[in-house]
Amino acid sequence: MKKTIILACAAVLLLSGCNKTQIGGNSGNSGNSGNSSSSGSSSSSSVSSVSQSPSDKTAKLLLEVEFPEMVEVSSDNLEVYFGITADKVDDFSVYISGSGAMPDEFGIFAAKDASAAAEIEQLLKDRIDYQTETYRDYTPAEAYKLEDSFVSVSGNTVIYAICADNAKAKEILE
């Protein structure tokens, strides 16, 4: 019962507060394209990913991996969902499932410094632990997405994903 109330509150916050903006001022795609995974090769992804912004990478992920309806997290809701304050990041792009019934979410955070990156990494790991506990009982059929979810840090950039194809998500977000 307690978990149901928490998820209902989260859904209300999600639906009432997302204005699809980011700290960096770029607004990415506002939802899922509905496309399934592409079969093309990504041989140039490592070269082009160096110059891509967080919103460019998350937009690519939305195109190449199948997701339920996704909603972009605004700077206003960053702390609500993740405990991350806006002063810890220079830029970010994060999407979460529009439905509380699915754990799908992913994002990229360009942290202000190494200390902020370490803090964001821990907050994301805590969120994945919380989501794992929640979805194990709430929607067990969706819990498999959490089994190989990840949080990764490279310099001051922190990425994470919870989805049906976490390996592909990691490849695109890195």
Write the CB contacts of 28 (distance below 8 Å, at least 6 apart in sequence).
Answer: 22, 55, 56, 58, 59, 72, 93
Rounded Cα–Cα distance for residues 33 and 25 (Å): 22
Count of residues making up the chain:
174
pTM of the model: 0.72
Q: Are 82 and 123 in contact (CB under 8 A)?
A: yes
User: Greatest CA separation found in the chain?
Assistant: 49
pLDDT at 11: 44
Tokens of 91: 């830029």
The 3-class secondary structure across the chain, one letter per residue, is CHHHHHHHHHHHHHHHHCCCCCCCCCCCCCCCCCCCCCCCCCCCHHHHCCCCCHHHHHHHHHHHCCCCCEEECCCCCHHHHHCCCHHHEEEEEEEEECCCCCCCEEEEEEECCHHHHHHHHHHHHHHHHHHHHHHHHHCHHHCHHHHCCEEEEECCEEEEEECCCHHHHHHHHC
* Residues above pLDDT 70, as percent of the chain: 71
pLDDT of residue 100: 85
Spans of the chain below 50 pLDDT: 1-49
